């Protein structure tokens, strides 16, 4: 009976917390920030950096900083696609408070803490049923479901972090990463329970790699390295090679990598912010399509509009 009920509501879709997708082109969704009454397109300059509390990083270059500097309250609209009516028919609306600012000569990273969120992926009855049947658990409230569904209403690219110090190494995936457009800056949100975090801060170095979606299963197995020591190199299911300057290990099949020097850190809550800069983008081969995460509610919403992204 439960399966029949689920199929009536959600069809043949496998219900998960997040959907893993791929594409090789532009992201279809758009994100707008209400800035002094005028919507500012922040699609390529907004990143999720902390989960408890929810903290976003929003980059504003010098020409737009004046629109944000006097604000302490912010509103963000997540949309299916860019359009002229930037605040109409959103899939999610987020209200946020200013948390902190990182300033650089080219612009500033505004760190915004979530106050409340509203989601419109499907009708409220389906959303509540999904929560109480599949997502409700100790410590996970309906408020959290809304905040995560909002944050992942925009594809979050999965990348690979490599680190080495003496005999110790680690390689693990993460999607709380942001590449600042038209700059050499990167921002990361690393969970405090990540065993490599203190070592990365101590040395001020890490390597960030891009890879093809075809390595999804291997990548998710590497996710165990967040909290446990990785195996010896000989036990890895792939060969590694050294990066150009840091000599950190990266899988031989990555598409490209950047060696990043960490300039600043900041405690956001459950995650530590790392602010870094790279000097050289090492390209190795063309990508067949990267790996991204979106929330299941967003994927379900997309299916009602017609196929968007293929699952992997």
Q: What is the pLDDT of residue 245?
A: 98
At residue 239, the 3 state secondary structure works out as: coil
Pairwise CA distance, residues 215 & 173, whole Å: 11
Task: Say if residue 83's pLDDT is above 70.
Answer: yes
- Phi and psi at 183, nearest 5°, equal -155, 180
- Phi and psi at 21, nearest 5°, equal -125, 170
Q: What is the pLDDT of residue 1?
A: 46
pLDDT digits (tens, 9 = 90+) for 198-224: 999 999 999 999 999 999 999 999 998
Task: Say if residue 6's pLDDT is above 80.
Answer: no
Q: What is the pLDDT of residue 70?
A: 75
Pairwise CA distance, residues 296 & 153, whole Å: 9
**Percent of the chain with pLDDT strictly greater than 90:** 75
Q: Which of 121, 141, 144 is nearest to 132 (CA)?
A: 141
pLDDT digits (tens, 9 = 90+) for 236-287: 999 999 999 999 999 999 999 999 999 999 999 999 999 999 999 999 999 8
Question: What is the four-CA torsion angle of 246, 252, 253, 258, rounded to 10 degrees?
Answer: 10
50 near 94, Cβ under 8 Å?
no
Q: What is the pLDDT of residue 312?
A: 92
Compute how many other C-beta atoms are within 10 angstroms of the C-beta atom of residue 270.
15
Q: In terms of CATH architecture, what is 22-153?
A: Roll (2.30)
Pairwise CA distance, residues 252 & 255, whole Å: 9
Average pLDDT over residues 9-27: 86
Q: What is the pLDDT of residue 145?
A: 96
139 near 155, Cβ under 8 Å?
no
pLDDT digits (tens, 9 = 90+) for 114-153: 999 999 999 998 899 889 888 998 989 999 999 999 999 9
* Full-model pTM: 0.94
- The CATH classification of domain 158-288, taken from the options 2.40.128.630, 2.30.110.10, 3.40.30.10, 3.20.20.70: 2.30.110.10
38 near 63, Cβ under 8 Å?
no
Average pLDDT over residues 59-74: 87
Q: Do domains 22-153 and 158-288 have the same CATH topology?
A: yes
27 near 168, Cβ under 8 Å?
no
Locate the domains of the chain by residue range.
Answer: 22-153, 158-288
pLDDT digits (tens, 9 = 90+) for 151-189: 999 999 999 999 999 999 999 999 999 999 999 999 999
């Amino acid at each position: 009976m439960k399966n029949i009920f689920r199929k009536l509501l959600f069809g043949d879709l496998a219900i998960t917390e997040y959907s893993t997708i791929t594409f090789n082109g532009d992201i279809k969704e758009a994100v707008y920030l209400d800035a002094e009454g005028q919507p500012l397109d922040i699609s390529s300059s907004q990143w999720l950096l902390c989960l408890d509390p929810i903290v976003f990083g929003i980059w504003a270059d010098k020409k737009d900083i004046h629109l944000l500097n006097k604000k302490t309250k912010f509103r963000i609209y997540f949309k299916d696609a860019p359009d002229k009516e930037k605040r109409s028919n959103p899939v999610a609306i987020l209200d946020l408070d200013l948390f902190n600012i990182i300033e650089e000569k080219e612009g500033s990273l505004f760190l915004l803490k979530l106050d409340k969120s509203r989601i419109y992926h499907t009708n409220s009855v389906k959303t509540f049923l999904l929560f109480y049947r599949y997502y409700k658990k100790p410590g996970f409230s309906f408020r959290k479901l809304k905040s995560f569904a909002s944050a992942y209403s925009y594809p979050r690219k999965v990348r690979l972090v490599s680190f080495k110090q003496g005999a110790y190494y680690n390689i693990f995936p993460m999607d709380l990463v942001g590449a600042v457009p038209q700059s050499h800056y990167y921002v990361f949100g690393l969970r405090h329970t990540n065993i490599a975090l203190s070592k990365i801060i101590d040395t001020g170095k890490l390597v960030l790699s891009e890879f093809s979606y075809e390595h999804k299963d291997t990548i998710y197995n590497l996710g165990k390295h967040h909290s446990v020591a990785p195996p010896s190199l000989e036990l890895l299911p792939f060969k590694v090679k050294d990066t150009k300057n840091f000599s950190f290990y990266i899988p031989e099949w990555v598409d490209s990598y950047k060696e990043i020097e960490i300039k600043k850190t900041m405690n956001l809550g459950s995650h530590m912010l790392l602010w870094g800069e790279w000097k050289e983008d090492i390209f190795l081969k063309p990508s067949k399509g990267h790996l991204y995460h979106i929330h299941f509610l967003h994927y379900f919403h997309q299916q009602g509009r017609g196929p968007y992204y293929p699952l992997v």
